Structure 1
Amino acid sequence: MGHQTHYIHPDLKLSGFDGTFYKADVLFEQHLLVWFISGETKIIQGDKTYWFGAGDTLLFPRNQLVTVINYPKNGLPHQSVVMHLTKKRLTDFYARNKVDIRPMQPPIFRTFDQHPLLKSCLASLIPYFELNEPLPDPIASLKIDAAITILRTIDTTIDHLLANFDEPGKISLVDFMEQNYMFNMRMDKFGYLTGRSLTTFKRDFKKTFQTTPQKWLTEKRLELAYYQIREKKRKPSEVYLEVGFENLSHFGYAFRKRYGYAPTEIAG
């Protein structure tokens, strides 16, 4: 099967994967509410790592960089229900439910473990994925509004995240890149998150770091890999994904080119 996504509505999908693992550096342009049905998920954000299993629920905030690695477990594929909380839908919701919000810096993803209210709401979507036609929008809207209402009930600060529609402003390149260099994002996405066009991002980057973004990113990722392997005694196969490489052989080639020997020669 590999990786498959089944949409019953533009904002509702069932995601599945039955390979060895599926890894992606992601930047969501809208909030995602996710309920894990089976399998295991590893999420890396900055210097923190989180694990989630069947029954757990979490909310991914928009415009946040994270690395997600999904694994099958106990003979079952990785499977999850995903609800998109779009800007339009949230704008409409909060037009009917006025709130005063305050800025949240930085907005991090929220975990709700196996809260029965959220679990029952998202589990009720499962039968709809057997439909032979799209789920009518009025029904989808009812389900999504119910999920937002539940989130507001169990997390009294969630409005400050969901009702904040500001776009990223111009921020320090040094601070942002030092915190996020391990994410494999397109340059225009890095530019957007730092409040710059692609052209301005490249110009400011060259002025700040005296090199190109790609060369700097490769160097920083190799330095982190070297530290993890030598000092933390981790295996190359354990770190190459986390530091931003997509392929183990390419990581080995780049490492040897930078340090003059293979990463396995310092692993122990």
Structure 2
Amino acid sequence: MEYKAKYITEDIKLSSYEDNFFKSDIMFDHHMLIWFISGETKIVQSDATYHFKTGDIFLIPRNQLATIINYPKHSQPHKTVVMHLSTARLRDFYSKLDVNLKLSASPQILSYNNHPLLQSCLSSLIPYFEMTDIPVEIASLKITEAISILRSIDKKIDNVLANFEEPGKVDLVGFMEKNFIFNLPLEKFGYLTGRSLTTFKRDFKKAFCLTPQRWLTQKRLELAHYRLTQNKSKPIDICYEVGFENLSHFSFAFKKKFGYPPTQLKEHKSNISC
């Protein structure tokens, strides 16, 4: 993968993937406002799948688990402008306002299509990526402008941006059954369930009678097997969508559990039915 990034500040970057494919499982520490210049992205969450393409603008709320799959398109790289809306900056912004919030426990990705105000704000950043010694004040003003535009076009956005709560202790079984497809460090799973790593491992073993890694592998393989029998998706697509990092590891683990590789699943089903 050839990845290139240009920064105005640590919170504003021009991101470009030149290769044919890139996949990552991510938990975002900050809200991310993204404008697509070229390419396509599929974002898979536990309860929804999103597709974004050239011209789309969307906001990914912080502390959300997601599988990001990037594709170049029409011989152009996957290129985006990414703006981080950090908690510190948002606290400062909202400290001057009096807002009534209706907090959502799990806000979804918010799509703004190619809204002209947001597009104008984000596209105006392009010339700055070719410059050096950009005044910090300019970048700060651009982020404030983006927040103000979001508030003007989305009357519910305060419920997302002004929510500064950290994850509290949640039901471990329910959370893991919903989010096992995301290949993240155990520390991240612990944080999102309101636990230290030590407490997470202890509670996990008590709840599932398995280590986290063995349980995660088993659940991902079972889901992969089910999806391969229910639709026409290719093993390589299923592999990434259920939490494996590469096809070779997936194929090895699949054959070890079921006795045949994923590419022979249909043949195996036919033999059983006969």
Q: TM-score, normalised by structure 2?
A: 0.95
Report the identity percentage.
58
- Structure 1 segment 101-180 matched on structure 2, within 5 A: 101-133=101-133, 135-180=134-179
Quote how far apart the aligned CAs of 1:240 are.
0.2
> AA paired with 1:240?
C
What are the superposed Cα offsets for residues 117-156 of structure 1, whole Å, 9 maximum, x if unpaired?
A: 10000000000000033x2211111100100000001100
Structure 1 partner of 2:236: 237
Deviation beyond 2 Å, 4+ runs, structure 1: none
SS at match of 1:79: strand
- Structure 1 segment 8-157 matched on structure 2, within 5 A: 8-133=8-133, 135-157=134-156
Conserved in 1, the CA contact under 8 Å of 2:8 and 2:139? no
Conserved in 2, the CA contact under 8 Å of 1:118 and 1:147? yes
CA 1:267–1:238: 2 relative to 1, 3 Å:
farther
Structure 2 partner of 1:4: 4
SS at match of 1:36: strand
Separation in structure 2 between the aligned mates of residue 7 and residue 55 of structure 1, nearest angstrom: 21
Mean alpha-carbon deviation: is it higher for 220-229 or for 43-52? 43-52
SS at match of 1:43: strand
Give the CA RMSD over aligned residues: 1.1
CA 1:194–1:247: 2 relative to 1, 3 Å:
same
> AA paired with 2:8?
I
> AA paired with 1:176?
F
SS at match of 1:246: coil
> AA paired with 1:52?
F
SS at match of 1:240: helix
Separation in structure 2 between the aligned mates of residue 130 and residue 231 of structure 1, nearest angstrom: 49
Number of aligned residue pairs: 267
Conserved in 2, the CA contact under 8 Å of 1:236 and 1:267? no
Separation in structure 1 between the aligned mates of residue 105 and residue 172 of structure 2, nearest angstrom: 17
SS at match of 1:88: helix
Quote how far apart the aligned CAs of 1:6 are.
1.5
Separation in structure 2 between the aligned mates of residue 195 and residue 35 of structure 1, nearest angstrom: 32
SS at match of 1:80: strand
Q: TM-score, normalised by structure 1?
A: 0.97
| Structure 1 portions without partners, runs of 5+ | none
Structure 1 partner of 2:272: none
Conserved in 2, the CA contact under 8 Å of 1:43 and 1:69? yes
What are the superposed Cα offsets for residues 169-200 of structure 1, whole Å, 9 maximum, x if unpaired?
A: 00001110011000010000000000000000
Separation in structure 1 between the aligned mates of residue 28 and residue 190 of structure 2, nearest angstrom: 15
Quote how far apart the aligned CAs of 1:98 are.
2.1
Conserved in 2, the CA contact under 8 Å of 1:235 and 1:267? no
SS at match of 2:102: coil
SS at match of 2:144: helix
Quote how far apart the aligned CAs of 1:10 are.
1.3
> AA paired with 2:70?
N
Separation in structure 1 between the aligned mates of residue 75 and residue 232 of structure 2, nearest angstrom: 30
Structure 1 partner of 2:260: 261
SS at match of 1:84: strand
> AA paired with 1:56?
D
